[in-house]
Amino acid sequence: MGIIVNVGGCGFKCIGLDLSAQRERDKANNGQHFFFSLYFFVSPLSPHSSKFPNPSPNLFLHSHSSFTPLTLRSNQTRYRFKKLPSSNAPNFLVAASAKAEPLKVIISGAPASGKGTQCELITQKYGLVHIAAGDLLRAEVAAASENGKLAKEYMEKGELVPDEIVVMMVKERLLQPDSQQRGWLLDGYPRSSSQAAALEDYGIRPDVFILLDVSEDILVERVVGRRLDPLTGKIYHLKYSPPENDEIASRLTQRFDDTEEKVKLRLRTHHQNVDAVLSVYKDITVKVNGNEAKEHVFAQIDAALTHVGEQRKVNSGSVAA
């Protein structure tokens, strides 16, 4: 028996298939049933079709000469059927276009835990698109847009900028073609249960959620010593990552919210929200000791991302088998 998977005309592409079989006793008929579970992992074809537009797209299982429609549930479709007793399990041939999905990573942690510093190293090695909610907001502030003016009021108080501004801003950046093609590294988002829920609603889920764990006294020291190069965007620290020369040192700037007083407010906001966000991603969270030197922190993250990559290869290998 052959199976043909057709994922046409529904705004989705098939990005993976998994087939598993199990044998179960059928008490009523005193025989055996073979159950085959076929999983379809699909994603929107267009970066703009972020929500699943059609609750029952044209996804079909072709068995013998009849087509059986499948039901799409979130970004995973499951179809189960049984073979009648007395004959052996059939061989399946699954035909579909399966393309490796780019890596999707969220990095999280308290203010000044080193998210931006690690993102520089991760993007250098993995080529992911770095999307930092704080940077997007600071760009709005610098442009003196209406959103920027409103955002600055919250940022100065160390509070979260309202979802009406942040959610769409981040979602649109995630759905740009470069993020979709190269994969993304989302920094400082989501920071509340409502932001995490919005991502889930859009069907946007990371492969891994990295949590930088840093003690509070170190965080304060990192904030007050942080400096930024407006020319290159590089992050420095007067003690831990000093500028390479006097020319760079002379142009370094300090963020308006990088004072001891403001970091305490930002930390309070972080503590109020962190557990709600972690609960959404607990099955894919990797906790990293961020107290160490940046190279050692990166080594832990690199190991975690390598492991995720290997897992994905194993999973796609089981599809091809």
Which residues here bind ligand AP5, judged by CB under 6 A? 109, 111-117, 133-134, 137, 154-155, 158-161, 166, 188-189, 191, 195, 222, 225-226, 235-237, 240-241, 266, 293-294, 297
Nearest to 112 by CA among 227, 210, 229: 227
Choosing from 255, 264, 287, 294, the catalytic residue is 255
At 87, phi and psi to the nearest 5?
A: -110, 165
Nearer to ligand AP5, 59 or 258 (CB): 258
CA angle (69, 16, 170) in 5-degree steps:
100
H/E stretch holding 206: none
Neighbour tally for 217: CB within 10 Å: 8
- Per DSSP bridges, beta strands 3-7 and 12-26 are unpaired
Taking the complex as a whole, the smallest distance from the CB of residue 125 to ligand AP5 amounts, in Å, to: 16
- C-beta nearest to ligand AP5: residue: 134
* Spatial separation of the C-alpha atoms in residues 118 and 7, rounded to whole Å: 38
Active site annotation includes 266: yes
Taking the complex as a whole, the smallest distance from the CB of residue 181 to ligand AP5 amounts, in Å, to: 24
* Spatial separation of the C-alpha atoms in residues 49 and 24, rounded to whole Å: 40
Choosing from 115, 138, 152, 227, the catalytic residue is 115
- Amino acid letter, 203: G
Nearer to ligand AP5, 113 or 147 (CB): 113
Active site annotation includes 191: yes
Nearest to 274 by CA among 157, 191, 185, 158: 191
Taking the complex as a whole, the smallest distance from the CB of residue 174 to ligand AP5 amounts, in Å, to: 13
Nearer to ligand AP5, 59 or 122 (CB): 122
Taking the complex as a whole, the smallest distance from the CB of residue 132 to ligand AP5 amounts, in Å, to: 6
Nearer to ligand AP5, 49 or 193 (CB): 193
Choosing from 104, 152, 173, 191, the catalytic residue is 191
Active site annotation includes 255: yes
Active site residues: 115, 191, 226, 255, 266
